Amino acid sequence: MANGTFAEMLLDRAGDDHPGLLFEDASYTWAEVVLEARGRAGLLASFGPPPGAPGRPWHVGVLLENVPEYVFWIGGAALAGATVVGVNPTRRGDELAADIRHTDCDLIVTDSAHAALLDGLDTGVPDDRVLRVDSEAYAARLPGEPAEPARVAPGDRLLLLFTSGSTGAPKAVACGQGRLAAIARNAERMSITRDSVTYIAMPLFHGNALMANLAMAVHAGATVAMRRKFSASGFLPDVRRYGVTYFNYVGRALAYILATPERPDDADNPLCALFGTEASAQDMARFSARFGCRIIEGYGSSEGAISIQKTPDTPPDALGVPPQGMEVAVLDPATGRECPPARFGPDGGLLNPGEAIGEIVGLNVAAAFEGYYNNPEADAERVRDGKYWSGDLGYRDADGFFYFAGRGNDRLRVDSENFAAAPVERILSCWEPVVMCAVYPVPDPRTGDQVMAALELGGPFDPDAFTAFLAGRRDLGTKWAPRFVRIVESMPLTATGKVDKRPLRRARWDVSGDGAVWWRPGRGLAYEPLTAGRAEAISAEFRANGRSHVLTAL
């Protein structure tokens, strides 16, 4: 088959007795996976025609952890011409109900544990179309004869994937049969072959697990080993148990694995390659050395319009370059003009962040963006003047290599100097005790911002050692040293493992919650504990300067 759709790609595995899916003590060949998928397509057909608007396919909300049923329903939707909505199980209450209503789910596939999250919520889905996969009624409803595949086209929508929500309300990204099939054909570039064993521990409701693992494994006929949810301590035992050769990650997964106790035999494992986004250069180097594998880091998103990949000559902290034929630039969002190239000092520090940092924009890729579901305002924000505006900050050096500088709201303005959070985070992550860090703006009592950092550490915070570290960094900008430092037991994360800065920004310098706050009251780098009295005095400065509104607006 030409494999123009993901359904065709899946059907190529119909007679394949190679191991396809490993989960806990269960094992399925690819032929069995396809058969199970056809059974879910048949179950869907038993409900009759889609109840939505004319021409709209079934929207199947899947509210599950990473379990085989999730894979079967993705396959079943592909073969039935339906759309799977990946419902985020970490959402709660009205937000969870709003996600389901917004995506017009006609059916919800869940289990008894997750079904309890729906109690009392107005999801718009009748009770008889909420299927609990661990119930006897569900098993009895599965058809004895698998359904014949429907006729589907590359443009048919297969997935609605919510964005991570790390910078605002999640949006449902559309992914068609053709786009997922095209992504799957990157398997060889990611070192995935038929002999590979890929490991899915990132959540299946997010594009990273589907696009950077499952789809490519289907194309290559590789074996997929799957875990319910990511566990740093369970990572290496799973790798050895299943013979894992490839792992996809997102966010801070590598940092958490590196924080587990190191053993002399860590490199005794079958891992060959990892692919992911947003790991620091330091973590990538440490992980590769410790576990003896190659790391392929890239820039991309569920929207799929822009991709940037490392090449052998890419500088350690850079994202890399876009593929041939893809035109990407860094533009000033206010003027639309291209930002000047980045200039670096002898220590590698960025000398001109104010002019070099702008938004990463695809100049000829807007057509690749399939849009957000039922959200024309968000579509218009992404596509303007025929260009795709990523919403991410970045800069580019004179050799054309791109660097990530943070999300769109990760820009700070301190004493009239503009800079982004990511370069500061890269520096702080080099301090040995740091497991994870986040840098974000908090308001200044008079104007602009002050720098605040949240640090998750492998031990107690030593303010003198931190001061010495900052003083020794020649690449630390004159305005970049954090005014406030919050020590957190664990960094707040989105369901996809990305740092969620929203609760940190809301907490500001509040000392009543968990975690100690330190601050430097003077122009030097000496830090001292922030007391409740001093925190209230800072808030009083806002009131005295008529800026109380900026506190309530966070």
Percent of the chain predicted with pLDDT > 70: 95
253 vs 43: which has the higher pLDDT: 43
Sheet holding 246-250, edge to edge: 26-29, 19-23, 223-226, 197-200, 246-250, 273-277, 294-299, 308-309
Confidence band (pLDDT; 50, 70, 90) for 549? very low
pLDDT at 185: 95
Residue type at 521? P
C-alpha–C-alpha distance, residues 225 and 33, integer Å: 13
State both tokens at 365.
């890729």
Are residues 190 and 212 in contact, defined by beta-carbon separation less than 8 angstroms? yes
Are residues 70 and 64 in contact, defined by beta-carbon separation less than 8 angstroms? yes
State both tokens at 380.
């218009």
Instruction: Spell out the residues 6+ positions from residue 208 whose beta carbon is closer than 8 angstroms to its own.
Output: 202, 248, 249, 250, 276, 277, 496
Q: Give pLDDT tens digits for 336-371.
A: 999 999 999 887 778 888 899 899 999 999 999 999
Contacts 24+ apart (CB under 8 A), 379-383: 382/303, 382/305
pLDDT at 307: 93
In this predicted structure, the answer to whether residue 172 has a pLDDT above a threshold of 90 is yes
pLDDT at 166: 46
- As a whole number of Å, the end-to-end CA separation of the chain is 53
pLDDT at 510: 87
SS3 of residue 205 by DSSP:
coil
Q: Give pLDDT tens digits for 426-436.
A: 899 999 999 99
Confidence band (pLDDT; 50, 70, 90) for 145? confident
Q: How far is CA 171 from the centre of its chain?
A: 13
Q: Where is 45: in which H helix or E strand?
A: helix 30-45
Are residues 213 and 224 in contact, defined by beta-carbon separation less than 8 angstroms? yes
Are residues 482 and 420 in contact, defined by beta-carbon separation less than 8 angstroms? no
Confidence band (pLDDT; 50, 70, 90) for 329? very high
Which domains occur in the chain, in start order? 6-299 (3.40.50.12780), 319-367+376-407 (2.30.38.10), 419-552 (3.30.300.30)
SS3 of residue 76 by DSSP:
helix
Are residues 320 and 299 in contact, defined by beta-carbon separation less than 8 angstroms? yes
Nearest-5° angle of CA 94, CA 95, CA 100? 95
C-alpha–C-alpha distance, residues 423 and 350, integer Å: 8
The pTM for the full model equals: 0.81
C-alpha–C-alpha distance, residues 97 and 117, integer Å: 10
Q: Give pLDDT tens digits for 289-305.
A: 999 999 988 888 789 89
Q: Give pLDDT tens digits for 232-257.
A: 999 999 999 999 999 999 877 898 89
Neighbour tally for 26: CB within 10 Å: 10
DSSP 311: -
In this predicted structure, the answer to whether residue 167 has a pLDDT above a threshold of 60 is no
Are residues 73 and 42 in contact, defined by beta-carbon separation less than 8 angstroms? no
pLDDT at 449: 83
Neighbour tally for 45: CB within 10 Å: 17
Q: What are phi and psi of 549, to 5 degrees?
A: -65, -30
Are residues 79 and 38 in contact, defined by beta-carbon separation less than 8 angstroms? yes
Confidence band (pLDDT; 50, 70, 90) for 164? low
C-alpha–C-alpha distance, residues 300 and 310, integer Å: 12
C-alpha–C-alpha distance, residues 83 and 77, integer Å: 6
Q: How far is CA 380 from CA 156, 191, 386, 388, 468, in A?
A: 22, 37, 10, 10, 47
